[in-house]
Amino acid sequence: MDNPASIFLLIAVLLAAIVGVVVLVFASKNGPRLNTQRYQTKWLEIENALSRDNPASWQVAILSADKLLDQALRDRRVKGKTMGERMKTANKMWRNADHVWSAHKIRNKLAHEPDATITYDIALRALSAFKQGLKDMGAI
């Protein structure tokens, strides 16, 4: 091992191993890649079903967008038993986590309060938040 070429080779192998470990660590933190084509198709279905003159479509769009976001969290293998837990884990993935959380709270209001109503503008803001959240995750 006194040969300079052997020492150089050993150092090169060690450096390659370290770089490989670093790449694996960072790749696993982001989770698996998502099928963007599938998510884009589903997102377009949500947007196309939205009708300004049909308040029921606003609610369906929000519920569907929330479900799509949760599916992306699951597909990325974000840890958590509930969507809320997965969202807490994923907070740093989103540029504006508060915006995504607000959209999810609107979804919860619609899902759990029988007389809950929203305006078209609120629906658009919520959908915008879900869309940005999906973009930030690499889904669309």
Judgement on whether residues 106 and 56 belong to the same structural domain of the protein: yes
Judgement on whether residues 100 and 71 belong to the same structural domain of the protein: yes
Give me the domain span that covers residue 20.
1-30
pLDDT in tens, 63-116: 999 999 999 999 999 999 999 999 999 999 999 999 999 999 999 999 999 999
Judgement on whether residues 45 and 13 belong to the same structural domain of the protein: no
Q: What does the alpha-carbon distance between residue 140 and residue 121 come to, in Å, rounded to a whole number?
A: 22
43 closest CA partner among 65, 59, 66, 74: 65
Residue with tokens 């150092």: 11
- So what's the pLDDT on residue 27? 46
Judgement on whether residues 41 and 12 belong to the same structural domain of the protein: no
* Residue 12 buriedness (CB in 10 A; 0-12 / 13-18 / 19+): exposed
Q: What is the pTM of this model?
A: 0.79
Judgement on whether residues 25 and 41 belong to the same structural domain of the protein: no
pLDDT in tens, 51-73: 999 999 999 999 999 999 999 99
- So what's the pLDDT on residue 5? 75
Q: What does the alpha-carbon distance between residue 55 and residue 36 come to, in Å, rounded to a whole number?
A: 29
Q: What does the alpha-carbon distance between residue 64 and residue 102 come to, in Å, rounded to a whole number?
A: 15
Q: What does the alpha-carbon distance between residue 1 and residue 5 come to, in Å, rounded to a whole number?
A: 9
Q: What does the alpha-carbon distance between residue 29 and residue 99 come to, in Å, rounded to a whole number?
A: 23
**Number of domain units in the chain:** 2
